[in-house]
Structure 1
Amino acid sequence: MNDGAIDYGAVFRALPGMVALLTPDLVFADANKEFLRMSGRRREDVVGRYLFDVFPDNPGDPEATGMRNLEASLRRVLATGERDTMALQRYDVESRPGQWEVRYWSPVNEPVVGPDGTVELLVHRVEEVTELIAARGGPGGSRARVLEAELYTRARELQELNERLRDAHEREREVALALQKAMLPARRQVGLHKVAVRYRPAVGALHVCGDWYDLVDLVGGSRIAVSVGDVVGHGLGAACVMGQLRSALTAASRVAAGPAQALDVLGRFAHVVDGAESATAVTTFIDCDLRTITYSSAGHLPPVLVQPDGRVEFLDRATDPPLDAHPDPRPRPQAGTGFTPGATLALYTDGLVERRREDIDKGVARLAESLVRHREADPEVLADAVLHELLPPEGAGDDTVLIVVRL
C-alpha cells in the first residue's frame, strides 16, 4: 500500500489513545474519538476553540494547577521545538455545568515542525490513569483514596522542584547575558565603514550560548578586523569561555600579519582554556585602500560578500578545523578577494541559518538571497530585514550574531 492510499484522517480518529492537535495559538485543530469520549466532549464543542476555554481550571479549587502546568508545557514546546513529557497531573473536569470530576492524566506534548523549522502544530497526547488508580484501591475504594493522595502529593512536589530548577536556570541565564553584554564590543562605526551588529540571545532559560563577535581597528588607519565565533555549550560557563577567546583574538589581530596568523595564535590559546573544545571562529581583515578582504576560518560558516550588482561570493576558500582540533597547532590557511565600493559583507553564527531537519546549506543560501534583496538599504535597515526574514517569530533556540559591513 502506498502513502496516497492511506486515509491518515481516519487513522488519527481511530487511534486508541487520547490525542488532540493544537495550533500555536492553543486552539483545537482536531481531536480523535478517544479524546472526545474520555473528556466527555463533542467534536463541535472542541474544534476551533481555545484549549483553556474548553478545559478551564476548577474555579472552586484555588489550588488547582493542572491547566496552568499544561499551558507552561505547551509554551516550552513552542519555544524550543522539543517534546515535553509532563509529570502526572490532577485535573478537575467539568462533567456537567457546575459539577467537577477529579481526573488524573499523564500528558505528552510533541511539536509538528514545518519546512522552515517553525512549530506548525502541537500533538497533545494524554494517558488517562484515573480508572487505574481506582482499580488499585480494591473494595470500598479506601486504598484508591490513599493512592490518589500520594500520587497528587508526589506530582505537586515534582512540579515545585521543576519550577525551582527553572528559576535557578533563569538566574544563571540573566548572569550569563549580563556577562556577554559586558564582554562584547559596543556597536559603532569602525574605520571608514558603516557596521551594523545584531546579537539575539537564544530563547529559553537553558539555552544561553557562547556566540561572540569582534570589531578591531588595525594599525594603519585604513584596515579593520571583523570576526565572529561560537563556543560549544550553554550557560555561564560558555559565556566565560567566549569572553576569553574574544579578548585573545582582539590582541592577536592587532599584531598579526594576517587573519590566519591571528587564528593560529587563538587556536594555541584555546588549547589551554577549559570549555573551548570545538569552538569555531572566522576573521576577516578588510583593507579599505586596497579594496581587499583577507580571511581565515576555523570551522566556522563562511562570510557572505555581496557586490553592488548583486553578485554573491562565499568566503570559503580558507577553511580549517575548529580552534583546538589539532593536538600540535599548525599554520592555518588564508585567502583573499576584492570588493567594489558599496559592497556588503556579512558574518554570522549558526543560530541565524540552522533549522531543525534542514540542511544548513539551505539556510546559508536563504541568507544570501536576503542580503541580495536588501543590498541597497542602509546596514542597520538591512540587518533588521535579514533577522525578520530568517529568524522564527518566537525566536531561535540558539544564539544569533549578525554583522553587516558596508564596504
Structure 2
Amino acid sequence: MAKTAIDYAAVFQALPGMVALLTPELVYADVNEAYARGSGRSRDQLVGRYLFDVFPDNPNDPHATGTRNLEASLFRVLSTGERDTMALQRYDVESADRPGEWEKRYWSPVNTPVLGAEGKVVLIVHRVEEVTELIRARGRPGGGADRLLEAELYSRARELQELNHRLQLAHAREREVALALQEAMLPARRQVGGQRAAVRYRPAVGSLNVCGDWYDLVDLVGGNRIAVSVGDVVGHGLEAAGVMGQLRSALTAASRVAEGPAQALNVVGRYAHVVNGAESATAVTTFVDFDRRTITYSSAGHPPPVLVHADGRVEFLDRATDPPLDAYPDPRPRPEAATGYAPGAILALYTDGLVERRGEDIDTGLARLAEALRRHRTQDPETLADTVLRELLPPGGATDDTALIIVRL
C-alpha cells in the first residue's frame, strides 16, 4: 500500500477539543478552530499575542484565580519539561464585543511540553476542556442549583489551591535546608596538591527537591598526590543530602588509607549496604600522582572522567567501569586502570545532569562535553568551568542537579 502523507495542519484544525500552541514566551503560535470558537476570539485576535494580554485577570474580582493558576501551571511546564494537568478552574473572560463585561467560564486545562533536540521546551500544547455549559445545564431551570454548584466548585478549588500552596511552601523549605546541608558538606574551591582546581554545583531548576550529587578533592598521604571524586545518590531532599554526606565522608576516609581508587570504592561499597537510601548510588574516583604524571581511576556505575591532553587529544577514562556502589552483596575487587599525561592537561569529573538530556543518547552529551573541553582547554579552570556549564546546560537550567570538577594538571 502506498504511503499517504498526513496533513498535520489539517489534523490540528480538525481536533474536536480546544487546542492552542504556545511559545516559551507564552505567545500564541497557533490555535485550532475549536479553540477560537470556544474562547470567543478570532484566530487573528489570538496568534502572535501574549496569552495573558488576551485573557487578563478580572480587575473587578480579586478572588478570581483561574488566570494566575494557569500562569503557574505553564511556568511549571517550562521549568520541568513535564506535562501539568490542572483541576477545573473558573475563569472570568472579558467579552470581545463588550469590553468591561466579564463572563464566568469553567475550563479544565492540560499543558503538555514539546521538547526540542536538546531537551528544551520549544512549544506548549495548551488543551482546554470546556465544561461551562455542563455546569449551567445542571442548574436549570431555576438557577438556584447553578449558584449552589458554582459555590461548591469555587470552594473546592480554593481548598485545593490552598493545600497546593502549603505543600509548595513545605517542599521549598525542605529544599532550602537540603541545599544548605549539601553546600556545608561539599568542599569549597581551593588549591589542591599545589594545583588549580575549580568546582561547581548547580541544583536542578524547577525542582522542589535537591538531589544527592557530590564531589570531593583530597590531599593523599605519601607523595605529591590527590584524589578527585564525584558521586550521585538516587533520591531527593534531606534524605538524599544526608546519604550524600555519609558516602562522601566514607570515600574521603577510605581514599587516605587505600592503596588505590578501586580499593577505596570497595570499602565505600560495603558501607553503602548498611546506609538506608544508598541504593544504586554511583561514584568515580581518580588518584592523580603529579610526580609520576599518572592518573589511576575506578568507577562504580558513574559516567567516565574526561582527560584532555595538552595537544587537544580527548581521552575518556572508561577502562575500569563497574556497577553502582551497593551492587555486590558480597565483597569483590573492583577494576582499576591508569593512564599518563603531560603538563598542561585538564581532568574533568562531573555528574549526569551535565550530559544527559531527555530523548537524547548519552553519547551525544559526552561528545558535546569533550568538544567544549577541547576547544577551551587553554582557559584557567575557573573560567573553563563556567564556559562548560554555559555551553552544556540548557538556557533555563537543567532538570537534574549538576556537579563539575576541573583540575589543571
TM-score with structure 1 length normalisation?
0.98
Partner residue of 2:149? 147
User: Residues 2, 170 of structure 1: CA spacing in aligned structure 2 closer, same or farther, 3 A cutoff?
Assistant: farther
Deviation at 1:64, TM superposition (A): 1.3
Secondary structure (helix, strand or coil) at the match of 1:104 reads strand
Secondary structure (helix, strand or coil) at the match of 1:112 reads strand
Partner residue of 1:18? 18
Deviation at 1:7, TM superposition (A): 1.4
Distance 2:151 2:13 in 1: 34
Contact 2:207 2:399 (C-alpha < 8 Å) held by counterparts: no
Partner residue of 2:165? 163
Q: Which of residues 237, 247, 271 is equivalent to 1:245? A: 247
User: Residues 66, 2 of structure 1: CA spacing in aligned structure 2 closer, same or farther, 3 A cutoff?
Assistant: farther
Deviation at 1:192, TM superposition (A): 2.3
Q: One-letter code of the match for 2:61?
A: D
Q: Which of residues 109, 112, 116 is equivalent to 2:114? A: 112
Q: Please show how residues 257-272 of structure 1 align to structure 2 within 5 Å.
A: 257-272=259-274
Distance 2:162 2:28 in 1: 28
User: Residues 134, 3 of structure 1: CA spacing in aligned structure 2 closer, same or farther, 3 A cutoff?
Assistant: farther
Distance 1:3 1:43 in 2: 32
Distance 1:62 1:339 in 2: 66
Q: One-letter code of the match for 1:372?
A: R
Deviation at 1:142, TM superposition (A): 2.0
Distance 1:2 1:311 in 2: 50
Partner residue of 2:179? 177
1:65 aligned onto 2:65: yes
Partner residue of 1:317? 319
1:29 aligned onto 2:29: yes
Partner residue of 1:211? 213
Distance 1:30 1:65 in 2: 25
Distance 1:302 1:343 in 2: 16
Contact 1:27 1:51 (C-alpha < 8 Å) held by counterparts: yes
Distance 2:293 2:28 in 1: 57
Q: Which of residues 119, 124, 127 is equivalent to 1:125? A: 127
Contact 1:197 1:403 (C-alpha < 8 Å) held by counterparts: yes
**1:90-139 per-position Cα deviation (integer Å, ceiling 9, x unaligned):** 10001120110000100000000001110001111000111011111232
Secondary structure (helix, strand or coil) at the match of 1:5 reads coil
**1:229-278 per-position Cα deviation (integer Å, ceiling 9, x unaligned):** 00001111000000000011111000000000100010011111000000
Secondary structure (helix, strand or coil) at the match of 1:336 reads strand
Distance 1:79 1:229 in 2: 25
Q: One-letter code of the match for 1:321?
A: P
Contact 1:207 1:398 (C-alpha < 8 Å) held by counterparts: no
Contact 1:231 1:238 (C-alpha < 8 Å) held by counterparts: yes
Q: One-letter code of the match for 2:7?
A: D
Distance 1:114 1:372 in 2: 26
Quick one: percent identity of the two aligned structures?
A: 80
Partner residue of 1:40? 40
1:402 aligned onto 2:404: yes
Distance 2:62 2:154 in 1: 15
Contact 2:174 2:238 (C-alpha < 8 Å) held by counterparts: yes
Distance 1:2 1:276 in 2: 54
Contact 2:80 2:207 (C-alpha < 8 Å) held by counterparts: no
Distance 2:286 2:316 in 1: 13
Partner residue of 2:310? 308
Distance 1:69 1:2 in 2: 47
Partner residue of 1:329? 331
1:86 aligned onto 2:86: yes
Distance 1:341 1:405 in 2: 12
**1:46-100 per-position Cα deviation (integer Å, ceiling 9, x unaligned):** 1111110000010110111111111110001000000000111110001120110
Distance 1:327 1:264 in 2: 12
Deviates more, 1:294-303 or 1:214-223: 214-223
Distance 1:18 1:49 in 2: 17
Partner residue of 2:227? 225
Alignment root-mean-square deviation, CA: 1.1
Contact 2:224 2:289 (C-alpha < 8 Å) held by counterparts: yes
Secondary structure (helix, strand or coil) at the match of 1:174 reads helix
Contact 1:166 1:205 (C-alpha < 8 Å) held by counterparts: no
Distance 1:23 1:3 in 2: 32
Q: Please show how residues 182-197 of structure 1 align to structure 2 within 5 Å.
A: 182-197=184-199
Distance 1:247 1:334 in 2: 21
Distance 2:271 2:10 in 1: 60
Distance 2:82 2:395 in 1: 16
Secondary structure (helix, strand or coil) at the match of 2:283 reads strand
Contact 1:218 1:254 (C-alpha < 8 Å) held by counterparts: yes
Distance 2:88 2:342 in 1: 63
Distance 1:7 1:158 in 2: 41
Deviation at 1:205, TM superposition (A): 4.2
Secondary structure (helix, strand or coil) at the match of 2:192 reads coil
Contact 1:191 1:221 (C-alpha < 8 Å) held by counterparts: no
TM-score with structure 2 length normalisation?
0.98
Deviation at 1:3, TM superposition (A): 7.7
Runs of 5+ consecutive residues of structure 1 not aligned to the other structure: none
Distance 1:187 1:339 in 2: 23
Contact 2:293 2:340 (C-alpha < 8 Å) held by counterparts: yes
Distance 1:89 1:42 in 2: 23
